[in-house]
């Protein structure tokens, strides 16, 4: 298996070649948004400089070339996640929009008052609020898989919780705890109970080799900007038979085959769900991001992150001891490279500001997971998240910066 050469990888990301407050930039906020390699920037610029035209509409050469690039990106994404057909790959604005599409197109067509939806206590707001909206609109019952003290989901009562459930929504990797739930086990149990499974893969797909069939998902949502691609583009993969049966989410151009004053006929998949001018340049950039990640190898990325997360857990424990509390599973192999932590009694926002003065970028806040924060008994945490361009020197810089925060606040 290929080994990730981080020193080489770092050179691919021009933004990392700079100083912040007189110190080298140490970017540890990839769980929020990953940095972009030069090949992605080049692909988008080249598209705008040489190929830009609207897709699916023009029959002149430039428009046909733009359409080929756009649909070629869809093919790449489908291959990247093991889709049976590119017809199952829809482009959206982001993962949040993808999940909302499922909630409002599939959910409103298939859920009725009294139906139950099962989520988990570790969901991002993107896989929680859409179902809360439907709960109020349709009179649904929401249930939750609880978080265990070990940072894993407690599946002890899974079968009981699934009784009568029509849909299960679960993250494949927690953006707060790094927890990697057993999605296939949950999906198999859900299908046995007659439920459809929606997986939030925003934190998973950029870091772990993904096969939608192996996951057992019916829908998988993820976003471009967390996988070294551009902002403004997300993906929804769905089983073709489910997408075919769903009504459109948005109405307008390109999602129709015919329009009359008294009605319309929807387009074929996947364009049925892509109303209006799509994010063409962003799709080109996402396709380049897929090429880049495939060139590195997701297995190598995952192995690197396991090793780096283990080093971080050992280093922070050795240097900061009981002063730091790291939330989530203790085994690096059973979690992603996301470390949410509390340090002494220093507010996470203060930690983030002091670390910024040392050139270290971490997130502070509730990470769009307020129910999980309440479950942990905190208002907020600081969060360091690692990716393919981070190495042990970045972990050491994090530890040094935390020591500086301790010196400042006493």
Known catalytic residues are 368
- Give me the helix-helix angle, 280-296 and 61-81, nearest 10°: 40
CB 400 within 8 A of CB 338: no
Q: Phi and psi of 347, rounded to 5°?
A: -65, 140
Q: Contact, 170 vs 123, CB < 8 A?
A: yes
Query: Is residue 260 reached through a cis peptide bond, with omega within 30 degrees of 0 on the bond before it?
Result: no
Choose among 292, 298, 359, 313: nearest CA to 178.
313
Distance of CA 120 to the CA centre of its chain: 16
If phi over 0 gives left and psi between -120 and 50 gives alpha, with beta otherwise, what is residue 126? alpha
Q: How far apart are CA 303 and CA 247, in angstroms?
A: 41
H helix intervals, 256-391: 280-296, 298-320, 348-357, 370-376
């Amino acid at each position: 298996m290929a080994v990730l050469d981080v020193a080489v990888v770092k050179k691919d990301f021009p933004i990392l070649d700079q100083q912040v407050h007189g110190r080298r930039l140490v970017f540890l906020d990839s769980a929020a948004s990953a940095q972009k390699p030069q090949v992605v920037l080049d692909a988008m610029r080249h598209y705008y400089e040489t190929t830009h035209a609207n897709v699916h509409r023009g029959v002149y050469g430039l428009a046909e070339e733009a359409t080929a690039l756009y649909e070629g990106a869809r093919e790449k994404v489908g291959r990247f996640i093991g889709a049976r057909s590119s017809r199952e790959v829809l482009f959206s604005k982001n993962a949040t929009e993808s999940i909302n599409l499922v909630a409002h197109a599939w959910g409103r067509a298939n859920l009725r008052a009294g139906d139950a939806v099962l989520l988990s206590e570790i969901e991002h707001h993107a896989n929680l609020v859409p179902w809360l909206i439907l709960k109020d609109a349709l009179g649904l019952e929401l249930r939750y898989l609880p978080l265990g003290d070990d940072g894993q989901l407690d599946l002890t009562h899974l079968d009981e919780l699934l009784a009568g459930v029509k849909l299960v929504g679960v993250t494949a990797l927690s953006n707060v705890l790094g927890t990697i739930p057993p999605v296939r086990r949950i999906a198999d149990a859900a299908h046995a109970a007659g439920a459809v499974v929606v997986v939030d893969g925003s934190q998973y797909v950029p870091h772990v080799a993904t096969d939608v069939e192996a996951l057992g998902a019916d829908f998988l949502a993820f976003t471009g900007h967390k996988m070294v691609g551009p902002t403004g583009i997300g993906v929804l993969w769905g089983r073709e038979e489910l997408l075919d049966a769903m009504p459109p989410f948005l109405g307008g151009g390109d999602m129709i085959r015919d329009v009359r004053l008294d009605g319309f006929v929807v387009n074929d998949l996947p364009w049925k769900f892509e109303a209006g001018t799509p994010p063409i340049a962003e799709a080109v950039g996402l396709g380049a991001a897929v090429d880049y990640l495939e060139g590195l190898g997701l297995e190598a990325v995952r192995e690197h992150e396991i090793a780096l997360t283990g080093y971080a857990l050992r280093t922070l424990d050795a240097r900061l001891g009981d002063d730091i509390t790291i939330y989530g599973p203790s085994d690096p192999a059973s979690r992603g490279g996301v470390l949410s932590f509390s340090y002494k009694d220093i507010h996470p926002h203060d930690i983030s500001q002091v670390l910024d003065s040392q050139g270290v970028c971490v997130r502070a806040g509730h990470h769009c997971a307020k129910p999980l924060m309440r479950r942990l008994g905190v208002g907020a945490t600081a969060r360091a998240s690692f990716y393919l361009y981070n190495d042990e020197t970045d972990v050491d810089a994090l530890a040094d910066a935390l020591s500086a925060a301790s010196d400042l606040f006493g």
